[in-house]
Chain A
Amino acid sequence: MVWLTGGGLVLATLMIAGLLLLVVFNGTLTFWPKKLTQITTHAGMKYLGEVSRSEAYQHDGKPAHRQLLRTANFDLFGDHFKWISRHDVARIDYPAEAWTVERQEWGLFVGFLKEVRIDGQPVSQTFAELHGPARQRFHQLKSMEKNEIGEVNRAIEELRLDLRRIELKRGKESPEYIRAVAETTKRETELQAEYAKLGAEVTRLRAEDARYTVVLAEVNGQTKEQKISEIVRAYPANHLNLLQQIGVYASRWWEFLTDEPREANTEGGVLPAIFGTVMMTLIMSLAVAPFGVVAALYLREYAKQGPLLSAVRIAVNNLAGVPSIVFGVFGLGFFCYVVGGGIDQMFFPEKLPTPTYGTGGIIWASLTLALLTVPVVIVATEEALAAVPGSMREGSYACGASKWQTIRRIVLPRAMPGVMTGLILAMARGAGEVAPLMITGVVKLAPELPVDGHAPFLHLSRSFMHLGFHIYDVGFQSPNSEAGKPMVYTTTLLLIGLIALLNLSAIYIRNRLKKRYVGAQF
């Protein structure tokens, strides 16, 4: 029977270890360049692709084996994957000149580089020579579209809003409004001219860009001409040496951590999601720390202890066990609609009926999570405060210190490790929550980060991306979830890593602060 209980423990540890290993293994392997396998079937069909996984299945009632080949080339085949049964396979090769091409659109291409063209004519320059400048052009174009043209659009939108503000304030017949209309029209024509100029520049760059192409051929010979600038990365998968493999691996990680997603989030990077997660957690801790500590100080130091207070204490403790989705519902109803709607009515009437604060946004999501985690901080702080010996307080009072002086100089510093631990645990919990965010402002693809170069720089009303929601979205909502699966693993790894980091730092800070104050005890 003892062994049975041991079995329970082993099973529990085994499951955790298995899960972590699964995530770490798959997460770290995702970006390693895979070999391209060419399979020729008995029917004479050729397939080229990365072997994704294989499984046993029933074929005509007999056990059989098949492989899932990532044949990619979605624009040519209309499919990303192909199951190939082992009994169909006639030959397996690893063609040395096969390339894996990652593209900005349409996903992966696997096949052969036939020729490099400029203006439709084959040239002698290699792909590698042209790729660098082409990518530069691509980024330049993108930044022009985003920044300069975006700037003009923003200015036009601002003009419209200014006009609307005047209309709301003074009415349509007022002289101010009529004057403003004239002014606006003038400004708008100027901006339109600027817009046209920029547009022409973009068109010119595009035309320049379109001159450089590369002809790709898939394994059966079908070709596709592709702009070089739209190729993110290309490598001859089957004759990379170890160093080159590591290079591809590192460059993919770099892209993952610093770039924006593409292809419905299944490729590219997760920078906006990392940014959103971190930012939301920060705002949350800014909100939760003072309130949690103040509430705990009140409960422990100021309030009269009694049955009512213990009831309040139990209630606060139990809030930590209320499902996060309930807080999400509250956040949507109260923060987004009541508070946010109120703010819109008061400060942004010109934008209505388009809501500014009256819909999901990073500030509301953060506040919701703050509410969710405030009990954690209260409980931790209270425990830390209770652990400060009464003799120290009495000593302080005896020396003539006031209550606040005692708390500030004696109690709080000694309780600090506990407070910090509570706060960081709250952050760890907040960073991993997804359900309440789903209804208070997280989106699968946020067009803009909550921080940018335009006043007021911090846009708290914007919706944001989140690592946890990214997992849910890519794994479940994506049309091509098989291709997204490796991404999910990597994102999971990142999220677990982030949370582990927070937890570890909680432990570290606790230990350090403890050491600092343990020496100072009487």
Chain B
Amino acid sequence: MPTLTEPPPPAASPRAYRRTTSPAVRLVDKFTTALITTGGLMVIVAVIGILVYLVSVVLPLFRGATLTAAGRYPLLTPDRVNQLWTLQLDEHQHRGFILDRQGKLAVFDVATGKILSDEPILPATPAITAFTRTLRGGYIGLGFADGTIRLGRIRFTDAGAEAVLEDPLTIGKKDVPVHRLDYKVSDRREVVTVLKADGELVWDEVTRRENILTGKITTKLAKHDLPYQPPAGHTNLPDYLLQNSQGDQVFLAWRDGTVQRYDLRTIDRPLIAETTDFTPEPGIELTNLQFMFGDQSLIAGDSAGSVTAWFRVHRPEAGTADQYRLVPAHKLEAHTGPITATDMSTRDKCFVTGSTTGDIWLRHMTSKRVLSRVTLEKSIRATHLTPKGDAIFALDSAGHAHRWAVHNPHPETTWQTIFGKVWYEGYDHPDYTWQSSSGNDDFEPKFSLIPLVFGTLKATVYSMLFAVPIALLAAIYTSQFLDKRLRMPIKSTVETMASLPSVVLGFIAALVLAPIVENRLLQVLATFLLIPVVVLLGGYLWQMLPRHVTLRWEGWPKFALLLAGVFVAVLVGRVISSPLEAWLFSGDFKAWLDGRVGTAIPGIATLAWPVCLAVVWYAQHKIITNRLNQTLAGRSRVVVGVIELGKLLAILAAATALAWITGMILTQFGMDPRGSLVGTYVQRNTLVVGFVMGFAVIPIIYTISEDALSSVPEQLKSASLGCGATQWQTAVRVIVPVAMSGIFSAIMIGLGRAVGETMIVVMAAGNTPLMDVNIFNGLRALSANIAVELPEAVKDGTLYRMLFLAAVSLFVMTFALNTVAEIIRQRFRKRAFQL
């Protein structure tokens, strides 16, 4: 053994060693330390700042409105305030006007309250007896004591405001005063309904014809009489007459709260559809009744201060003449005093209410929110919400005007509207709805994240159902049974799948897979069920091969045989799908899914089959396995193989029989999977999405769980095998339990990826925001929704912030999943290390 010798002393250096570090080196060192520390901290802060920024964009959604006082001045005399027909401001808050019962139009400067002009727009006689105006466009209708009406328009001009009135039109008997009228103008039609003092109720459609030569416009009324039948006990004429802009609903209301609804959808046969009471408590009077913007909901204010939104829903069981019924869909927070004034927004479902106690509240109908409140000393006589919704103008009983600037960017969102059921106009019941845009002008956007969260979960669940078994089985096989020579190539093949862009998978899903699945639905489904069965059978046949053959074929040949097994399954699926369809599903699977043919038995049986198989397997394991093993001990390999194969076939048959019986029993109890778990087939559906998304998730689950399985210490395996356990027993009872937490974290990480997957869902899921568990129907996931709608969303609008909220929920969901997975994995590592 050579001995270590001392190294030769270094050659004498011509220079003396420096004992101190040069200042330059020190400076550089300090500098880089500072640079890297700040840089590193900044990167980390930036990365965590993402969540902070996203949340900061979302937060304004939940803030109410703010009102800032913008001026107050005396505008009218107290007498005149009680004589108001209407109060309006222009959209720039530059000029305003009031119209009083004497027909005088006073125009004033909004900033100062100076009256600029105060002129009558009508002759003194005949007296005005009724007035109406449209919410938008400034159209007005006036009724007179001599039984005539005049239609017209008040518009803001540069100078102030001008009224243009058409010639009087006589309605019904002459000289019978007009009691109430309502006039509506929409793109399609112009309608006016008039109630005369003698109880004559007339519905007219207004048509205009322009004389090409003279340019004179003649107005014609197409007249239809409506039956006037006041409910019992109502001798006086109604206090409110309202109609919607389609002109097919007319409402008469009395102060005691009784409301009579006419259905005029077939105008030749007018119906009094129902009579209902808006103020059921005794002694409470209806003090205000107005249409909400969109003419679907009625906002009723009463003398107790309550504010309720009523609209018409389909209720065939209610027994009304047209099968619809008015329901108090939204009961809003009540004022302390009677409601004296309301005004509706002309752009959304916001409105202002004023009460005798001097409260002015800005509210939103659907979210039931009171967005902002102010209180004045005097009772409120009139309120006005400006056309842009950016100011509130109010007159109190002393004739003083008050103005507030309104900042109200997101009135429609609350936790309740986003995550709870909301009763939107025209819907039969409260529901979770996502519908962010529509062609209509008076459309109300519906922002419920629940259908999207549901879609995300649905896609995730179905894809995990597909991916988890395959990935775990593959991982177990690779780590425990696969021939060493095959391990590397196969593992890296599966891992390459992880780097496949998801847009490619989405394209394959939608353009290649979806048509195939659509054409051969049953074949695809049958193949899925057949693959495990055929592969299992293959395993039993393999057992029957002589031992020396199995040992020699352990590598590629065995793998090739497995491949052949899968192909056989596909082939068998192809062959049996047609007879199966004819036999089980009356020859047309899709018709069966629609519920048009067949009974529920085959469906339940198919769904119950895996469960039944597990039950039968468990039962045989408890009852006959031990006895069988004792009898078979010492027999030859082939004999045991044949008997085991027979046992398997018997189990399969028993499971099928059990499943069928279950199906028959459950059908007797009226159960039918159609309409819930399965149902009408849509081309872009969850089956395809689940399949392809499973495809995207498999490599992740596979890689991580394979690592976990492989890192189980070798001595555990050796000990188990040494005690006489088979390879399978070792794998299932020793390796898998030890690696369990690693496998679990693999599944969690896979789940995280599935939740956030975007392109596959965008392309293959059909993007229908439905809440339907049917696997053959589409879905819309949070991620897909963001990708589809964000490019169109207006910056800082409600939709924009809602999509940010969707992003935040995705962020939180995946971050939580991954953190849990990471913690579990670290614990697992520690434990595996200790073993």
Nearest Cβ distance between residue A284 and chain B, in whole angstroms?
A: 15
Q: Is the C-beta of B116 less than 8 angstroms from some C-beta in chain A?
A: no
Q: Is the C-beta of A246 less than 8 angstroms from some C-beta in chain B?
A: no
Residue among A15, A297, A321, A327 with max Cβ neighbours from chain B (10 Å): A321
Q: Compute how far the CA of A495 lies from the CA of B752 in the bound complex, rounded to whole angstroms.
A: 25
Chain B residues near A2 (CB, 8 Å)? 477, 481, 539, 727-728
The answer to whether A432 touches B503 (Cβ under 8 A) is yes
Chain B residues near A435 (CB, 8 Å)? 502, 758-759, 762, 783, 787
Q: Compute how far the CA of A240 lies from the CA of B57 in the bound complex, rounded to whole angstroms.
A: 63
Q: Mark B34-61, 1 if CB is under 8 A from A, else 0.
A: 0111011101101110100110010000
The answer to whether B482 touches A9 (Cβ under 8 A) is yes
Nearest Cβ distance between residue B324 and chain A, in whole angstroms?
A: 41
Which of B334-342, B402-410, B599-607, B804-812 is the interface stretch?
B804-812
The answer to whether B810 touches A298 (Cβ under 8 A) is no
Chain A residues near B499 (CB, 8 Å)? 428-429, 432, 499-500, 503
> From A290, which residue of chain B is reached at the shortest CB distance?
B39
Asked whether A5 and B47 contact (CB < 8 A) given A302-B36, A439-B791, the answer is no
Q: Is the C-beta of A325 less than 8 angstroms from some C-beta in chain B?
A: yes
For chain B, residues 459 to 486, give those with C-beta under 8 angstroms from any C-beta of chain A.
Answer: 469-474, 476-478, 480-482
> From A318, which residue of chain B is reached at the shortest CB distance?
B818
Asked whether A12 and B790 contact (CB < 8 A) given A325-B758, A374-B47, A471-B504, the answer is no
> From B519, which residue of chain A is reached at the shortest CB distance?
A55
Residue from B32, B759, B804 within 8 A of A404 (CB atoms): B32
The answer to whether B763 touches A476 (Cβ under 8 A) is yes
Which of B259-267, B286-294, B424-432, B507-515 is the interface stretch?
B507-515
Q: Is the C-beta of A23 less than 8 angstroms from some C-beta in chain B?
A: yes
Nearest Cβ distance between residue B772 and chain A, in whole angstroms?
A: 23
Q: Is the C-beta of B455 less than 8 angstroms from some C-beta in chain A?
A: no
The answer to whether A322 touches B566 (Cβ under 8 A) is no
Chain A residues near B511 (CB, 8 Å)? 475, 481, 485, 488
Q: Is the C-beta of B815 less than 8 angstroms from some C-beta in chain A?
A: yes
> From B31, which residue of chain A is reached at the shortest CB distance?
A404
Q: Is the C-beta of A149 less than 8 angstroms from some C-beta in chain B?
A: no
Q: How many residues of A contact B (CB 8 A)?
A: 88
Residue from A404, A433, A503 within 8 A of B29 (CB atoms): A404
For chain A, residues 305 to 337, give those with C-beta under 8 angstroms from any C-beta of chain B.
Answer: 312, 314-319, 321-330, 332-334, 337
The answer to whether A499 touches B40 (Cβ under 8 A) is no
The answer to whether A299 touches B40 (Cβ under 8 A) is yes
The answer to whether A326 touches B811 (Cβ under 8 A) is yes
Asked whether A7 and B532 contact (CB < 8 A) given A298-B37, A374-B47, the answer is yes
Q: Compute how far the CA of A23 lies from the CA of B606 in the bound complex, rounded to whole angstroms.
A: 34
Nearest Cβ distance between residue B817 and chain A, in whole angstroms?
A: 8
> From B39, which residue of chain A is reached at the shortest CB distance?
A294
Which of B20-28, B236-244, B367-375, B444-452 is the interface stretch?
B20-28
Chain A residues near B474 (CB, 8 Å)? 5, 8-9, 11-12
Q: Is the C-beta of B598 less than 8 angstroms from some C-beta in chain A?
A: no
Chain B residues near A314 (CB, 8 Å)? 819, 822-823
The answer to whether A16 touches B496 (Cβ under 8 A) is yes
Q: Compute how far the CA of A9 lies from the CA of B752 in the bound complex, rounded to whole angstroms.
A: 22
For chain A, residues 449 to 486, give those with C-beta under 8 angstroms from any C-beta of chain B.
Answer: 468-469, 471-472, 475-476, 481, 485
Residue from B40, B787, B791 within 8 A of A302 (CB atoms): B40
Q: Is the C-beta of B490 less than 8 angstroms from some C-beta in chain A?
A: yes
Chain B residues near A3 (CB, 8 Å)? 535-536, 538-539, 542, 562, 565
The answer to whether A9 touches B44 (Cβ under 8 A) is no
Chain A residues near B41 (CB, 8 Å)? 298
The answer to whether A297 touches B40 (Cβ under 8 A) is yes
Q: Is the C-beta of A438 less than 8 angstroms from some C-beta in chain B?
A: yes
Q: Is the C-beta of A203 less than 8 angstroms from some C-beta in chain B?
A: no
Query: From DSSP, what is the main secondary structure of chain A's interface residues?
Result: helix
Nearest Cβ distance between residue A384 and chain B, in whole angstroms?
A: 16
The answer to whether B494 touches A13 (Cβ under 8 A) is yes
Q: Compute how far the CA of A298 lies from the CA of B32 in the bound complex, rounded to whole angstroms.
A: 11
Chain B residues near A407 (CB, 8 Å)? 32
Q: Compute how far the CA of A329 lies from the CA of B749 in the bound complex, rounded to whole angstroms.
A: 22
Q: Is the C-beta of A100 less than 8 angstroms from some C-beta in chain B?
A: no
Chain A residues near B558 (CB, 8 Å)? 6
Q: Compute how far the CA of A169 lies from the CA of B120 in the bound complex, rounded to whole angstroms.
A: 51
The answer to whether A321 touches B33 (Cβ under 8 A) is no
The answer to whether B562 touches A7 (Cβ under 8 A) is yes
Chain A residues near B702 (CB, 8 Å)? 12
The answer to whether A5 touches B476 (Cβ under 8 A) is yes
Asked whether A7 and B535 contact (CB < 8 A) given A294-B43, A475-B763, the answer is yes
> From A10, which residue of chain B is reached at the shortest CB distance?
B562
Nearest Cβ distance between residue B779 and chain A, in whole angstroms?
A: 16
For chain A, residues 427 to 445, give those with C-beta under 8 angstroms from any C-beta of chain B.
Answer: 428-429, 431-435, 438-439
Chain A residues near B503 (CB, 8 Å)? 432, 434, 468-469, 471-472, 495
Q: Is the C-beta of A205 less than 8 angstroms from some C-beta in chain B?
A: no
Q: Compute how far the CA of A329 lies from the CA of B809 in the bound complex, rounded to whole angstroms.
A: 12
The answer to whether A333 touches B57 (Cβ under 8 A) is yes
For chain A, residues 406 to 430, give those with C-beta under 8 angstroms from any C-beta of chain B.
Answer: 407, 428-429
The answer to whether B538 touches A322 (Cβ under 8 A) is no
Nearest Cβ distance between residue A313 and chain B, in whole angstroms?
A: 9
Chain A residues near B797 (CB, 8 Å)? none
The answer to whether A323 touches B501 (Cβ under 8 A) is no
Q: Is the C-beta of A14 less than 8 angstroms from some C-beta in chain B?
A: yes
Nearest Cβ distance between residue B88 and chain A, in whole angstroms?
A: 31
Residue from A23, A295, A312, A472 within 8 A of B506 (CB atoms): A472
> From B698, which residue of chain A is reached at the shortest CB distance?
A12
Chain A residues near B759 (CB, 8 Å)? 434-435, 468, 472
The answer to whether A434 touches B559 (Cβ under 8 A) is no
Q: Compute how far the CA of A390 lies from the CA of B645 in the bound complex, rounded to whole angstroms.
A: 59
> From B795, which residue of chain A is reached at the shortest CB distance?
A337
Q: Is the C-beta of A130 less than 8 angstroms from some C-beta in chain B?
A: no
Q: Compute how far the CA of A7 lies from the CA of B478 in the bound complex, rounded to whole angstroms.
A: 11
Q: Compute how far the CA of A13 lies from the CA of B490 in the bound complex, rounded to whole angstroms.
A: 7
The answer to whether B786 touches A16 (Cβ under 8 A) is no
Q: Is the C-beta of B803 less than 8 angstroms from some C-beta in chain A?
A: yes
Q: Is the C-beta of A405 less than 8 angstroms from some C-beta in chain B?
A: yes
The answer to whether B500 touches A1 (Cβ under 8 A) is no
For chain B, residues 674 to 710, give those with C-beta under 8 angstroms from any C-beta of chain A.
Answer: 695, 698, 702
Q: Is the C-beta of B412 less than 8 angstroms from some C-beta in chain A?
A: no
Q: Compute how far the CA of A334 lies from the CA of B728 in the bound complex, rounded to whole angstroms.
A: 54
Q: Is the C-beta of A392 less than 8 angstroms from some C-beta in chain B?
A: no
Nearest Cβ distance between residue A294 and chain B, in whole angstroms?
A: 4
Q: Compute how far the CA of A295 lies from the CA of B25 in the bound complex, rounded to whole angstroms.
A: 23
The answer to whether B477 touches A6 (Cβ under 8 A) is yes
Nearest Cβ distance between residue B810 and chain A, in whole angstroms?
A: 5
The answer to whether A325 touches B807 (Cβ under 8 A) is yes
Q: Is the C-beta of B631 less than 8 angstroms from some C-beta in chain A?
A: no
The answer to whether A317 touches B822 (Cβ under 8 A) is yes
Q: Is the C-beta of B171 less than 8 angstroms from some C-beta in chain A?
A: no
The answer to whether A495 touches B501 (Cβ under 8 A) is yes
Nearest Cβ distance between residue A132 and chain B, in whole angstroms?
A: 37
Question: Can you name 15 extra interface pairs (CB under 8 A) apart from A402-B29, A468-B503?
Answer: A2-B477, A3-B565, A5-B473, A8-B476, A15-B698, A16-B493, A17-B493, A294-B35, A295-B40, A319-B815, A323-B756, A326-B756, A337-B795, A403-B33, A432-B502
Give 29 CB contacts A-B under 8 Å: A1-B536, A5-B473, A9-B477, A9-B478, A10-B559, A11-B474, A12-B474, A23-B508, A56-B519, A296-B40, A298-B44, A302-B37, A316-B44, A322-B818, A329-B790, A330-B53, A330-B54, A330-B807, A333-B804, A375-B47, A402-B28, A403-B33, A433-B501, A435-B502, A476-B510, A485-B511, A496-B500, A499-B501, A500-B499
Interface, chain B (partner A; CB < 8 A): 21, 25-26, 28-29, 32-33, 35-37, 39-41, 43-44, 46-48, 50, 53-54, 57, 469-474, 476-478, 480-482, 490, 493-494, 496-497, 499-504, 506-508, 510-512, 519, 531-532, 535-536, 538-539, 542, 558-559, 562-563, 565-566, 695, 698, 702, 727-728, 749, 752-753, 755-759, 762-763, 783, 786-787, 790-791, 795, 803-804, 807, 810-811, 814-815, 817-819, 822-823
